[in-house]
Every structure is written in structure tokens, then in C-alpha cells.
Structure 1
Amino acid sequence: MSSISRTELLQAFDRLLQPERFKDYGPNGLQVEGRPEITRIVSGVTASRALIDAAIAARADAIFVHHGLFWRGQDGRVTGWMKQRLQRLLAHDINLFAYHLPLDAHPELGNNAQLGRVLGLQADARFGEQDVGFAAPASFASGQALADHVAAALGRAVTLAQPDEARPIRRVAWCTGGAQGYFESAIAAGADAFITGEISEPQAHLARETGTVFIAAGHHATERYGAPAVAAHVAQQLGLAHEFIEIDNPA
């Protein structure tokens, strides 16, 4: 097993994910500086205390996640949960790397590409703000048939807003996580159905009024594939050890 410098690992992630292309609400890249040499990476969806503790137990030198320490509109003070997470990372000298929109958008290893792989959808177009959303041809007899397929693939129940049970699904758009705001862009892109992680009150009405199926399959459940795909790819390139640690999340 080899080791590389923190700077080399950051450069490898940046080359792959190109964070400079995106306007994001939080910093992409190295969020917490740890030890200078890295041998073992742990990947996960969110830099929660549970993931940090699991990474400590796994003797990780670096953690790679989609959701880092910083969220939109967050209080900047280092108190409470933020202090507890930082305290653990700093005490064990663990580097934290986080990529939000760049990880959603990568055409092969990102969250949307990997969700498409899991669902058997081959994207042929992009849509939405910063082209993060994906779209693909499909063949499902109804919105319910698509929802059943998504539920089986992800191993969890989904929420279905289905305006017309008899309408076949010939084109599906998707954007992982909290992308319910992309619904109108998906409709404009010609989708018969839109899949994301969450649903808010307006989307059920839009589904009924536009005749477009809306499926909410879970924020965590739709975004659990990109981080391990990217981390495994980079770790293999650089000769590092990698482990994906799943922290269950019903959201």
C-alpha cells in the first residue's frame, strides 16, 4: 500500500471533478486539513459525527464526502455539533474532502450518473441550473411502474405524485438529493417523469397540472453512489486503500 501527500490527493480530486466550473454555496475541496501523508480514504455521503467516528475506527487519513461541514444559510459559529465534528477530525488529524455540485455533475462517476446506472437509465441530455440534471429515454407502462422500479433498485419506499395512471413513461429526468426545484426545468426538457430525493408542497400540484410524474426517492438514498465511485476511482489510480462506510439515513 502506498501513500501520497494531501496536496497530491486534492489535485487528483480537483482534476476529476473540476470544482472551478461550479457556483456552489459551500467550499469544494479540502474543508479540514489533517495529516500531510495519506494512505487510507474513507468515503461516505455526509460528514456526520457517526461517519467521522467510523473513519477514526477504520484508521482513515482522509474522508471524502458529498455533504461536508457547510450548508446554505448556516450559522458560522463553531459550537454544538460543528465543534464536536471538528474536534474529532482535528484530534485524529484526519483530512476532510467534500464536493457538492461537482460530485452531482460528473458525467460518469457523479451522483446523477451513478443513480442512472443503478436505475438502468442511459443519459443522453443534461438540463437545469449548471446542467446538473440528467435525462434519458425510458420505457415504463406508467408512473407506478417506474416508481416500483425505483423502489426495488434503491431498496426503499418512494413517494409518487402521479397525475395520470395510464400515461406511459417514455422519457425520464432525474437529479439527486434536494433537487425538487428542478422539476419545472425537467418538464421543459420534455420529461414524462422526474426523479429526485425530496418533494415539497408545490411539486404535487405541478405534477397534477402538467401531467408529469414526480418521484421522491430519498435524499440520502439517491446520493449514496457518487462519493464511493469517485473515491474508489482516485484511490485505485494512486494506489491508496479505500472503504465506503454507509451511515443509515431515512431522509
Structure 2
Amino acid sequence: MTIELSALVKRADHYLNAAKIADYCPNGLQVEGRGHVRKIISGVTASQELIDAAVAAEADLILVHHGYFWKGENPCVVGMKQRRLKTLLRHDISLLAYHLPLDVHPLVGNNVQLAERLGIAVEGPLEPENSRNVALVGSLPEALSAAEFVARVASVLGREPLLVDGQKPIRRVGWCTGGGQGYIDQAIAAGVDLYLTGEASEQTFHSARENGISFIAAGHHATERYGVQALGDYLAREFNIEHVFTDCPNPI
């Protein structure tokens, strides 16, 4: 089966409510390739490695969380950017990217998909007054030690996370996939036992330690692998086309 590119993009844009979410990059179709889609390759970031994998797999469209054209970046098409775009255009492959819309979606979003795998029951946004609701708060069905919970995270994500152990049982959890370490203050205010994100800043250690909570940095890439997979699977079901997730390992 094949589907028109325009129809697939329209469905994805609508499903993620992309036009109504302010972001740091354009969401949706970033590079236009051939007019029909038979096979989607998804991945976290539109790196050269992922593009080359899509070429080898004879994919028509690449679906990612981290695409191109970020605010503040050099707009010139030179170097790495030129090589990536040249490969896409030479092989007539489209690039479809969703950043914050894929973080916050209630079904296929990175945050809810990670919670499902870690056994966290979602209660709601960490910041109810924030219209983007990027970070979430929830609870575990039973209290775990920080060591027990970090072992679960390591098993699910396939990598050893960084842990600051607050030395108390973990029941209430706040989290934000990717580079969400800045939400730790809101997590502390919400009364969580543990805050989990992808990355850590130097001051994150002190915030967690001095406020008596545990903190886990589980990897930006590792925590954001699941939303794009879920979105790719949704589009594949909707249009009866092929979808393959390709994980290009990244230790960050």
C-alpha cells in the first residue's frame, strides 16, 4: 500500500495538534520528497546515520523527534546540514519532524510512553498552569527504593542511569524526557520523591540533595525513543503502510 504524502502529513499534524503548540523549530514536513509514502523509517534524531539507514531501506519518509531548523542556529546550508539535506534531496526522501507536540501528546507522547514502560500511573501535568504541560507527575503502585527504581529504569532503557539517591522510598514521581532537568524545582514544589529526566546540569545534583529527593538522569536519547515509535505505528495502522524504527545509539 501507498498513501499520498500530503494526506499522511495532514493526519499527523492534526493528530498531534501541531499548529497550536509553540515550539523552537518548525513541526511537520521539513523536507519534501516523493509524493507517495510506502515505507516510514523513524528515529529520534535526523542524523546522517539515520538518513543513510533510510536510503539503504528504500524508505520514502523519515519520521523524527529532533529535526532541523532550530531557532538561533546558523541558517546557512553548509557542512553537516548541507550533507544531510543533500542526501535527502538526492534520494527524494521526506523528513517529518515533531518536537514538543510529540513530547506532550496524551497517547503517543514521549512522556506518557516512558511512564507506561516504567509502570508510572500518570496523574497530570507537573505545572497545571503551563499550557504546554511538558512535564508530568504520577505515582508507582507500591513504594520502591531509589536503587530498585533505577534498576527498573536501567532494564527498560538498556543503559545505566545517573542516580542521586535521596534515601527515602519512591512513590510519587515527576518526569520530563530529554533535556528537562530545569523542571526539578517544579518537581520539588509538587512534593515528588523522585524526579527523572534525560540530562543533568551541575546544579541539579545540589537541588536534589539539598531538597531531599532522588534524581535520575537516564539519557536524552534513551528517554525519547518511544514517542516516535508510537506515532510511526499509529500512521502505519491508519494507512496500512510499513513502519520500521531505527535506533542510532547515542550515549547522551
TM-score (normalizing by structure 1): 0.95
The residue aligned with 1:140 is 143
The residue aligned with 1:203 is 204
2:95 is aligned with 1:96: yes
Q: Give 2:242's aligned amino acid.
A: A
Kindly report which structure 2 residues correspond to 1:5-154, keeping only aligned pairs within 5 A, or say none.
5-128=4-127, 129=130, 130-138=132-140, 139-154=142-157
Measure how far apart 1:4 and its partner are.
1.4
Aligned to 1:84, what secondary structure does the other structure show? helix
Aligned to 2:115, what secondary structure does the other structure show? helix
Measure how far apart 1:142 and its partner are.
2.3
Once the two structures are superposed, residues 189-230 of structure 1 have per-residue CA deviations (whole angstroms, 9 ceiling, x without a partner) of 221111100000111010011111110000111001110110
Measure how far apart 1:36 and its partner are.
0.9
User: What CA distance in whole angstroms lies between the structure 2 residues aligned with 1:21 and 1:209?
Assistant: 38
Measure how far apart 1:72 and its partner are.
4.5
Q: How many percent of aligned residue pairs carry the same amino acid?
A: 49
Aligned to 2:228, what secondary structure does the other structure show? helix
User: What CA distance in whole angstroms lies between the structure 1 residues aligned with 2:115 and 2:29?
Assistant: 28
User: What CA distance in whole angstroms lies between the structure 1 residues aligned with 2:161 and 2:69?
Assistant: 28
Q: Give 2:200's aligned amino acid.
A: I
Aligned to 1:83, what secondary structure does the other structure show? helix
Instruction: Name structure 1 gaps, 5 residues minimum.
Output: none
Structure 1 window deviating more from structure 2 (130-139 vs 52-61): it is 130-139
User: What CA distance in whole angstroms lies between the structure 1 residues aligned with 2:187 and 2:4?
Assistant: 42
Question: Residues 55 and 63 of structure 1 are in contact (CA less than 8 Å); yes or no, is this contact kept in structure 2?
Answer: yes
Once the two structures are superposed, residues 119-167 of structure 1 have per-residue CA deviations (whole angstroms, 9 ceiling, x without a partner) of 111211112442111221123332222212211221111101123x2x1
The residue aligned with 1:227 is 228
Q: Give 1:54's aligned amino acid.
A: A
2:173 is aligned with 1:172: yes
The residue aligned with 2:246 is 245
User: What CA distance in whole angstroms lies between the structure 1 residues aligned with 2:74 and 2:52?
Assistant: 23
User: What CA distance in whole angstroms lies between the structure 2 residues aligned with 1:147 and 1:226?
Assistant: 21
Structure 1 window deviating more from structure 2 (64-73 vs 150-159): it is 64-73
User: What CA distance in whole angstroms lies between the structure 2 residues aligned with 1:42 and 1:122?
Assistant: 30
User: What CA distance in whole angstroms lies between the structure 1 residues aligned with 2:188 and 2:21?
Assistant: 23
User: What CA distance in whole angstroms lies between the structure 1 residues aligned with 2:108 and 2:20?
Assistant: 17
The residue aligned with 2:237 is 236
Between the two proteins, the alignment pairs up a number of residues equal to 248
TM-score (normalizing by structure 2): 0.95
Structure 1 window deviating more from structure 2 (131-140 vs 189-198): it is 131-140
Q: Give 1:73's aligned amino acid.
A: G
Question: Residues 140 and 146 of structure 1 are in contact (CA less than 8 Å); yes or no, is this contact kept in structure 2?
Answer: no
Q: Give 1:149's aligned amino acid.
A: R
Q: Give 2:16's aligned amino acid.
A: L
Aligned to 1:250, what secondary structure does the other structure show? coil
Once the two structures are superposed, residues 4-48 of structure 1 have per-residue CA deviations (whole angstroms, 9 ceiling, x without a partner) of 111101111011111123111000000001111111111111000
User: What CA distance in whole angstroms lies between the structure 2 residues aligned with 1:199 and 1:17?
Assistant: 28
CA RMSD of aligned residues (A): 1.2
Measure how far apart 1:244 and its partner are.
0.8
1:228–1:140 Cα change, 3 Å: same
Once the two structures are superposed, residues 66-112 of structure 1 have per-residue CA deviations (whole angstroms, 9 ceiling, x without a partner) of 00023353111111100000000000011100000000111111111
User: What CA distance in whole angstroms lies between the structure 2 residues aligned with 1:209 and 1:8?
Assistant: 52
User: What CA distance in whole angstroms lies between the structure 2 residues aligned with 1:102 and 1:94?
Assistant: 22
Aligned to 1:203, what secondary structure does the other structure show? helix
The residue aligned with 1:157 is 160
